[in-house]
Structure 1
Amino acid sequence: MIQSVCRFIYHRILGWKEEVTVPDFKKCIICAAPHTSNWDLFLGKLFINAVGRKSGFLMKKEWFFFPLGPIFRAMGGIPVYRSKRTSMVDQLIEKAKQAEEFHLAITPEGTRSANPDWKKGFYYIALGAELPIVLIGIDYQKKCITATKYLRPTGDIDKDMREIKLYFKDFKGKHPEKFVLGDL
């Protein structure tokens, strides 16, 4: 039922399409970019449900106020306390290892503003939990979300991050000027 409703909204009402060739892993980290608008979350959740997959997501804790907090948690949201020095990466590695299924979407830019210094927490979670990283690109110009590549982290973060960034180079966010790849 939820899949049908999401498919109807995503395809018929909004007019978006998808290209998905990656396997439906029981456990994975989803690296989603570009992230230039608050609409990316809702579009991404519609997409993931429309294609019959699951995903939680990280979001700064400031968004978890009433009445949005319970809604975001129900959607799979996990609040991130950026002011505290917690071992969130270690906690998520353990959670992934213990779970039978684990799908977590993370935006590597860590913000909707232009940020050439991508966060690497998603990479370290995947490396530590031995999970594949599924790359999902959002393209507002083509009205298409694409998931055609995944990689398994090798431990050579510079090489792997370059490959990840190159995957996203042609996608156009809602606000393309807010998306930068940084050093390749």
Structure 2
Amino acid sequence: MTGAGNAIVPSTPGRVPRSGNGFTRWLGRTLLRLAGWRVTGTLPDLPRFIAIASPHTSNWDWALTLSTSFALGVPLNYMVKDSAFFWPLSLFLRATGGVPTNRLAPLGMVEELAARLRNTPEIVLAITPEGTRARVDNWKSGFLRIAELAKLPVLLISWDYPSRILNLGPLAELTGDHEADLRAIRTYYSQFTGRNPRNQSS
């Protein structure tokens, strides 16, 4: 990327999964520019990782993330309960990266998804640890279990509405102690402000 695009998004490392074309990358950069946002940081040069994003307080978070995905030329996958995959909604969900999950899977949803991810050569799985736009006191730790079982690193992505910056990174330093890791991750995200601060977890 050259010119004005460099001020909007960083370059995408070579091993990261790619999607789209010149038009979709231009569209993503244009949407971010019109919204007054820019993307900082960098993606890890890896073909498989989990990307958690916070603070999630608004539907606008999804719009910004989709625009960033287009601008970077990187496909994002996200979890959706399998019962939502009915026609015609299933067409939209699959086109935008939806991954069906079965909460009643015999091995458990996390274990079943992790098993699939271990056999997926390229994937960026996007997760919001709050699990909702509403204020919650407890974050979901499922992404840490998925990362551990599927042997995937976890990238920390932040939305900061006062500065209008979506930041990529850093990678979380996971210890295997899920409670301690979750506390450290929440502490990291406490420096950022969502669109609706009243919905933001403390």
Do they superpose with TM above 0.5?
Answer: yes
Are the aligned partners of 1:126 and 1:153 in contact in 2 as well (CA < 8 Å)?
no
**Equivalent runs, 1:8-157 vs 2, <5 Å:** 8-11=30-33, 13-59=34-80, 67-79=88-100, 84-86=103-105, 87-157=108-178
- What TM-score comes out, normalization by structure 2 length? 0.79
The alpha carbon displacement at 1:85 in A equals 3.5
Distance 1:43 1:59 in 2: 19
Between Structure 1 and Structure 2, whose CA radius of gyration is higher?
Answer: 2
Q: Report the equivalent of 1:5.
A: 27
Higher relative contact order (CA 8 A, sep 6+): 1
Give structure 1 stretches of 5+ with no counterpart.
none
Q: Report the equivalent of 1:180.
A: 201
Distance 2:114 2:176 in 1: 15
Question: Closer, same or farther in 2 for the Cα pair 1:67/1:41, shift >3 Å?
Answer: farther
Are the aligned partners of 1:24 and 1:53 in contact in 2 as well (CA < 8 Å)?
no
Distance 1:68 1:172 in 2: 32
Indicate the RMSD between aligned Cα atoms, in angstroms: 2.0
Are the aligned partners of 1:108 and 1:119 in contact in 2 as well (CA < 8 Å)?
yes
Distance 2:83 2:119 in 1: 28
Task: Find runs of 4+ consecutive structure 1 residues off by over 3 angstroms.
Answer: 59-69
Q: What one-letter code is carried by the residue in structure 2 that aligns with 1:8? A: T
- What TM-score comes out, normalization by structure 1 length? 0.86
Question: Closer, same or farther in 2 for the Cα pair 1:159/1:105, shift >3 Å?
Answer: same
**Which segment is superposed worse, 93-102 or 71-80?**
71-80
Question: Closer, same or farther in 2 for the Cα pair 1:168/1:96, shift >3 Å?
Answer: same
Distance 2:162 2:82 in 1: 30
Q: What one-letter code is carried by the residue in structure 2 that aligns with 1:3? A: R
What fraction of aligned residue pairs are identical, expressed as a percent?
36
**Which segment is superposed worse, 101-110 or 53-62?**
53-62
Are the aligned partners of 2:76 and 2:124 in contact in 1 as well (CA < 8 Å)?
yes
